[in-house]
Amino acid sequence: MASYATAPVVQTGQSAHARLKPVGVREVKLTEGLLAERYRTNIAAGIPAGWRQLWESHTVPNFYVVSGRRPGKVEGPRYIDSDGYKWLEGACWAYAHTQDNTLKAWIDEFVDVIAASQEEDGYVNTHFAGDRQSLRFTDLNHAHEIYCFGHLAQAAIAHHRVTGEEKLLHVARRFADLLYRLFGPEGRWGACGHPEAEMALVELYRETGDGRYLQLAARMIDARGRKPPVLDGSIYLLDHLPFREQREAVGHAVRALYLYAGAADLYMETGESALKESLDALWQDVFYRKVYVTGGLGARYEGEAFGLPYELPNLRAYAETCAAIAGFMWNWRMLQIEPTACYADWMETALYNSILSGVSLDGTRYFYMNPLESRGGYERSPWFGCACCPPNIHRTLAALPGYLYSLSDSTVYVHFYASNVLHTRLPNGHSVRLQVKTEYPWSGDIEIYPSAGRYRIALRIPGWVPYADLRVNGVRVEVLPGSYAVIEEQWQGDDVIELSLRMPVELVKANPRIEEDRHSAAVRRGPVVYCIEQVDSPDISLLDLYLPDPALDLERKQEPSLLGGVVTVKGTALVDTVQREGQPLYVPAAHYTPPQHKAIQVRWIPYYAWANRGAGAMKVWLPLA
């Protein structure tokens, strides 16, 4: 297994029911290309700006107040501590690579004041200090105390893995011990209205070997859906059914997806088939009925919730950045259980679209919602009153290197393609170095240079690819899209693996049960979903824009100076020239004037890059003429 010093994000090294074992964040160096650029911008701009926002938003000052180091009063929502913890987790993953002294000073300062805020009994939460101490654990439904603990524990684990220091891990363990006394097998039934701690507790077990944390995670999952209710029996809180009876993704999307991720973590340790049956059914429900083409999850504003099957509005898509990240975390765990390409396919879709869209190109402004259409006026913000999304971006992008690969006994699994160098040790003890060179996702051509030795390399062939050509030293290997192509060789140290994923500009159509996308198409190339932005078509209303069917002449164009360097798509679209404004909304079919189309040239840009040139209108799906 990978040593702790390599800093894996999810340590499945000893998990009996995880086929795959992690590489560490430290073991992968992103060298160039889109992911490397987004990764570096997050570290260079996002995380520093986040530290400033944590001060301005009272997140860090609250700890100073509660620790008695500074006067003042605690401000902000009940879950505000979690924003700081998520940022801290991201800062630690970033520090794994940068070893930057300034960043380390911020980490040290924050860790120090968190530790100083811990009560004798292990409790830490700035909101429930002082006058509000008596309210502790009186509102598990909504108070987010255990949720905040979960993020504290995840930060502590990252801190321990990256720095080797015990201080924050000790804080998290003491809090976990308190929770174990209160809500463990000898305590009362209890779980947080906002799941998250389940994942964290399993990881804390992995980090410390203390089986009580695994027991507590299991008990929190068991607590849901009990009658009389532990929470309030509501769908919103995922308390409508025992987890093992849940088969449909409902309720608050981020809560649901964190719960599923936690249950997957638990399954990796216990192998309990009832957990896996629920996870499989929920996965089918989400990814065959409730996901946007961008990978966005959670259709509804109301309750930040999953919609009904096929309920996927574009203009009013909620698609919270945190939900895409939570789905990314859940799929990662499913992938470690069993290396099935569909999990990685979806993670890639989410990453290149719904997650990257969550942050501005300069790395310092964030979307909370990620709609697939805008009429203008919607743009990213530097922070939020409910600031869950920005630091979730920080930690996810900072941990990206740890998500590119997994290992099994003698196999390196390559999940995602980006120019990078991997140095790792296989579970069988063999050292491996892979160098990957590619301009992915702008090009589907990937070269891999493996170090010498006998081991297998499993390359993900994305499900979206119409054709893939794989050659080892020029010799062709058969591959199947939507699976891992496994190459076993006695590598000589001078071999080259060439994978060419064909990336035509494609029109995508939706299952016609999605009413909002019916008779419409979206443009996709490789994993990247495209959109039309008003700024590129200033003279028309995007509401009047159609696509010819079949599309005429969609062509890719490299635009190195646009939006940080992207491949755009150009082609013919059709504008309805009939005057629609000021016309009756409903007319008898006999009096209906069908669209009269004029061809115009339009430019599509990658969806993730929208709203970086002003807050104009935007559309992913265009109706077919």
Q: Which residues are catalytic?
A: 304, 388
Nearest in space to 179 (alpha carbons), one of 188, 168, 170, 167: 188
User: Could you say which DSSP state residue 482 is in?
Assistant: T
Q: Please, what is the minimum distance in Å from the beta carbon of residue 266 to a second copy?
A: 27
From 98-106, 227-235, 240-248, 589-597, give the range in contact with a second copy by CB under 8 A: 589-597
Cα 508 to Cα 295: distance, rounded to the nearest angstrom: 14
> What is the nearest approach in angstroms of a second copy to the Cβ of residue 492?
39
Name residues contacting a second copy, limited to 491-530 (CB under 8 A). 506-516, 518-519, 521-522, 524
User: What is the distance between the terminal CA atoms of the chain, rounded to a whole angstrom?
Assistant: 56
Q: Of the ranges 79-87, 325-333, 384-392, 577-585, which one interacts with a second copy (CB under 8 A)?
A: 577-585
Give CA 340 to chain center in angstroms: 18
CB 234 within 8 A of CB 241: no
Per CB under 8 A, 466 contacts a second copy: yes
Helix (H) or strand (E) holding 283: helix 273-289
Are residues 414 and 446 in contact, defined by beta-carbon separation less than 8 angstroms? no
Q: Does 55 bind a second copy (CB under 8 A)?
A: no
Quick one: which segment of 95-103, 418-426, 429-437, 536-544 binds a second copy (CB under 8 A)? 536-544
Q: What is the rounded CA–CA span in Å between residue 391 and residue 283?
A: 26
Q: Does 317 bind a second copy (CB under 8 A)?
A: no
Q: Which of 38, 289, 365, 603 binds a second copy (CB under 8 A)?
A: 289
Given the complex with a second copy, which of 55 and 288 has the nearer CB atom? 288
Output the DSSP codes for 112-124.
Answer: HHHHHT--TTS--
Residue 332 contacts residue 10 (beta carbons within 8 Å):
yes
Report the nearest approach of a second copy to the CB of residue 500 (Å): 18
Specify the residue, 16 or 589, whose C-beta has the smaller distance to a second copy: 589
C-beta of 104: minimal distance to a second copy in Å? 43
Closest distance to a second copy from the beta carbon of 234 (Å): 15
Determine, following the binding rule CB under 8 A, whether residue 300 of this chain makes contact with a second copy: yes
In the region spanning residues 358 to 417, those forming contacts with a second copy, defined by CB under 8 A, are: 375
277 vs 409, beta carbon nearer a second copy? 277
Nearer to a second copy, 404 or 620 (CB): 620
Q: At closest approach, how far in Å is the CB of 600 from a second copy?
A: 17
Q: Are strands 520-525 and 621-623 parallel, antiparallel or unpaired?
A: antiparallel
Residue 114 binds a second copy (CB under 8 A): no
Q: Is 476 in the site for a second copy (CB under 8 A)?
A: no
Residue 595 lies near a second copy (rule: CB under 8 A): yes
Rg (C-alpha) for the chain, rounded Å, is: 24
What CA–CA distances, in Å, run from 362 to 106, 142, 365, 610? 21, 34, 8, 13
Least Cβ distance, residue 525 to a second copy (angstroms): 11
Asked whether 251 and 303 are in contact (CB, 8 A), the reply is yes
Q: Is 558 in the site for a second copy (CB under 8 A)?
A: no
Binding mask 328-357 for a second copy (x = CB under 8 A): ------------------------------
Q: Alpha-carbon distance 147 to 190, whole Å?
A: 12
The amino acid sitting at 170 is H
* Burial group, residue 233, by CB count within 10 angstroms (0-12, 13-18, 19+): middle
Between the CA of residue 344 and those of 30, 268, 356, what are the distances in Å? Answer: 18, 18, 16
Q: Tokens for 148?
A: 């905040």
Looking at 12-20, 82-90, 193-201, 542-550, which segment touches a second copy (CB under 8 A)?
A: 542-550
Q: Does 2 bind a second copy (CB under 8 A)?
A: no
Residues binding a second copy: number (CB under 8 A)? 56
Between 403 and 464, whose beta carbon lies closer to a second copy?
Answer: 464
> Which three-class secondary structure state does DSSP give residue 430?
coil
Q: Is residue 588 at the binding interface for a second copy, with CB under 8 A as the rule?
A: yes
Please name which of 186, 110, 175, 116 lies closest in space to residue 147, comparing C-alpha atoms.
175
Cα dist from 620 to 157, 169, 306, 372, 547, whole Å: 39, 44, 20, 6, 12
> Is 291 among the residues that bind a second copy (CB under 8 A)?
yes
Cβ proximity to a second copy: between 475 and 585 the closer is 585
Choice from 73, 471, 580, 598 touching a second copy (CB under 8 A): 580
The DSSP 8-state label assigned to residue 242 in this structure reads: -
Closer to a second copy by Cβ: residue 77 or 309:
309
The residue whose two tokens read 């999990």 is: 343
Residue 308 near a second copy by CB under 8 A = yes
* Minimum distance of a second copy from residue 289's CB (angstroms): 7
Q: Which is nearer to a second copy, 116 or 281 (CB)?
A: 281
CA distance 325 to 345: 14
- Binding residues for a second copy restricted to 126-145, rule: CB under 8 A: none
How far apart CA 259 and CA 238 sit, in angstroms, is 8
Q: How many residues in total does the chain contain?
A: 625
Task: Give the residues lining the site for a second copy (CB under 8 A).
Answer: 284, 287-289, 291, 293, 300-302, 307-311, 313-316, 375, 464, 466, 506-516, 518-519, 521-522, 524, 541, 543-544, 550-551, 576, 580, 582-590, 592, 595, 623
